[in-house]
Structure 1
Amino acid sequence: MSIVLSPSLLAADMGHLAQELQTLEECGIKALHIDVMDGNFVPNIAFGPDQIKMLRPLTTMKFDVHLMIVKPERYIQTFADAGADAITVHPEACTHLHRTLQMIKATGRTVGVSLNPATPIEVLEYMYELVDRVLLMTVNPGYGGQKNIVAMNKKIEQLAAAKEAGNYSFEIQVDGGINKENIKAVIAAGARNIVIGSALLQRGKTKENIADYQNIIRSLQL
């Protein structure tokens, strides 16, 4: 099984961002998770297309852009043009989810859907064939550093079962409170793309932390 580690930009040291990105690349990281927040869908504000456009020349890592904003369909092309390689939206924030996913697909970007903790996987019943990635939030979105909601492991298992039953190809991604103590549990439940923020990006310790997580992942893949 192939397991991907996706550092979250939200936890990066903004005063040394170029150096942080270089460190991630040197450690073999292939994609950066970027949370976009509008202060409406979630109680926080973070990043936008202009910041992503400025970051794009600094790294060859893919930009996995998570839109935690209302009516994301208004900005799909904008974020694609800014440099997003993957775009993830929330059904809770879309008036017409199917149409929004089609819009992402039309840009040629990887199509993602994210579900908040209280949102059942059944909302995706007719969407699975459209998506490349399903992101399950294991905290309520908006802030980094929150404690992982352990009950979400059952939800990961349910999604993994639905994927297998339908023979779908989408990737299962998780985000929220993942650390060295619980990463094995979310992987065992079926997650294959692991977003980690404050437990990974730490000034002066990032390289060491990545090595630790990579060793854990490697031990599971042996």
Structure 2
Amino acid sequence: MTDANVARQMSQRFRGYLPVVIDVETGGFNPSTDALLEIGATLITMDATGQLLPDTTYSAHITPFEGANVSESALAFTGIRLDSALRQSAAITEEKALSELFSMVRKAIKSHGCSRAILVGHNSAFDHQFLNAAIARSGIKRNPFHPFSSFDTATLGGFVYGQTVLAKACEAAGIAFDNEQAHAACYDTERTADLFCAMVNRYRDLGGWNLACREQGIDAHDDDNLY
């Protein structure tokens, strides 16, 4: 199968949207007042057989915006040390992080023939709200993500495996999960990407996707159509 056929299948699989897994670590629960401290993003691609695969990951430490709240309980939960010399030397502004991330996402959207990205997250509403708040603060006008739709792997994990906690859902899917590395945006986004791909691929392998195609009068095994 050619790269063009693979790109066409991805562009048709999710109604023209390219799934991009996002995880954020924050200074609290309020996206308007609490700091965005880390962001991780993993692109999703497709192989020649129609299976989804995690692709490139982007991650960044974020400098809290001016006046941002950072609660001690949030830092205790995530394990983030704001006074770490390594973090202070690596941290960048929200605007810079989003500009770098969006540049990567736009290139992936184009290469897969998609119209825009759609956020995938574990409890995705939380990640989406913080992403949109950071976009608004940064004054970014061209947001490659759908402004409100998302795929929630907590919901999908509950449906497929009976597990809504990320570590438990990964365990049920046969995905190794290290609790010592959890609550770091880079690690969590990569495990969430593994979980999302595992669930979508499982549905396809069990015949659900092929059945849906047949009900629409589409040949799911025809390279000129979609898997």
TM-score normalized with structure 2 length: 0.33
**Larger Rg: 1 or 2?**
2
